[in-house]
Amino acid sequence: MVPGTPAPGDVWAALHSVRRSGPLVHNITNYVAMDLSANVLLAAGASPAMVHARDEAAEFAGIAGALVVNIGTLSPEWVAAMLDAATVARDRGIPWVLDPVAVGATSYRTRTASDLLALRPAVIRGNASEILALAGAAGRGKGVDSTDSSSDAVDAAGELATKTGAVVAVTGEIDVVTDGRRSVQVAGGHPLMARVTAMGCAASAVTGAFAAVVDDLFLATAAALAVLGLAGARAAVDAPGPGTLRWRLLDELHMLDEATVLEGTRIS
């Protein structure tokens, strides 16, 4: 195993920490994702709050354990709130996660993502087409969905991590996490997860919860994705379709215990 690769015991310790501390996770996320992200955070043991008004976003970021900024449904008021909140998080050392939904699809998204990048997110989590676009490659996504596989975006993720100082996670069939120096693959999950809207947004939200309680953000990110992937794989067993997977995922996240995490974590 490469030195620095999170072990199953690290993943369990991280989940245990989330459950023990119940961190407040401030989300400025899209209309589609609000419900699933909040429920996934609760099932993981964190306290979600979806707060996007410009009048309060900066103040709220200051009391949170982590901030998650997701550009899925944009408007000028929301962008201003995102920039205000991310500025507070940066200035106070509160870890914040950027989910660059559909970056590259329009110049508004690309400009907004670039303005947010300048505020130094601690973690960037996107699908392969989004990470490629953010790293400067021509956008090949289909709106919010990826048309690339994570393996196509490994180099782009490494370059983005080095350039921004963020931990970068590319999700898909295999999740790749890198800080530019260390890089791991997190296996797990299930193809049905990609048939549930806002599952990637939920992955970013859970990453925020782990980043709030684990100092090593590389470990926090890998652990969050391992836990979500494990819950997703278990939820998919005998699920006839995405509807069943969606509700079972919450139950599986809630029920994950030490033995299951130690047995089911696949990080290499």
Q: Indicate which of Mg ion, ligand TZP, ligand ADP, none lies near residue 190 (CB less than 5 to 8 Å, by partner kind).
A: ligand ADP
With contacts defined by CB under 6 A, name the span among 25-33, 169-177, 233-241, 244-252 that binds ligand TZP.
Answer: 25-33
Instruction: Give the span between the Cα atoms of 42 and 209, in whole angstroms.
Output: 10
- The alpha carbon dihedral of 192, 10, 89, 107 has a sign of negative
Which residue from 45, 180, 200, 229 is in contact with Mg ion, where contact means CB under 5 A? 200
Q: Which amino acid is at 9?
A: G
Instruction: Give the span between the Cα atoms of 101 and 71, in whole angstroms.
Output: 5
With contacts defined by CB under 6 A, name the span among 16-24, 55-63, 172-180, 196-204 that binds ligand TZP.
Answer: 196-204
Q: Which is nearer to ligand ADP, 222 or 225 (CB)?
A: 225
Which residue from 22, 48, 104, 189 is in contact with ligand ADP, where contact means CB under 6 A? 189
**CB count in 10 Å sphere of residue 54:** 16
Binding footprint of ligand ADP, residue count (CB under 6 A):
18
With contacts defined by CB under 6 A, name the span among 73-81, 116-124, 132-140, 184-192 that binds ligand ADP.
Answer: 184-192
Q: Which is nearer to ligand ADP, 88 or 203 (CB)?
A: 203
Q: Quick check: 229 binds Mg ion (CB under 5 A)?
A: no
Tell me whether residue 255 is annotated as binding: no
Which run of H or of E encompasses 12? Answer: helix 8-21
Q: Which of 35, 105, 34, 30 is nearest to 73 (CA)?
A: 30
Q: Indicate which of ligand TZP, ligand ADP, Mg ion, none lies near residue 179 (CB less than 5 to 8 Å, by partner kind).
A: none
Ranges within 131-170 binding ligand ADP (CB under 6 A): 145-146
In the complex, least distance from residue 137 CB atom to Mg ion, rounded to whole angstroms: 17
Instruction: Give the span between the Cα atoms of 1 and 95, in whole angstroms.
Output: 28
DSSP letter string, 28-97: E--TTTHHHHHHHHHHHT-EEEE---HHHHHHHHTT-SEEEEE-SS--HHHHHHHHHHHHHHHHHT--EE
Question: What region does 34 belong to: left with phi over 0, alpha with psi -120 to 50, or beta?
Answer: alpha
Instruction: Give the span between the Cα atoms of 132 and 103, in whole angstroms.
Output: 9
With contacts defined by CB under 6 A, name the span among 40-48, 83-91, 161-169, 199-207 that binds ligand ADP.
Answer: 199-207
Contact 154, 170 (CB under 8 A): yes
In the complex, least distance from residue 146 CB atom to ligand ADP, rounded to whole angstroms: 5
In the complex, least distance from residue 233 CB atom to ligand TZP, rounded to whole angstroms: 18
Residues that bind ligand TZP (CB under 6 A): 30, 32-33, 72-73, 101, 144, 197-201
Residues that bind Mg ion (CB under 5 A): 101, 200
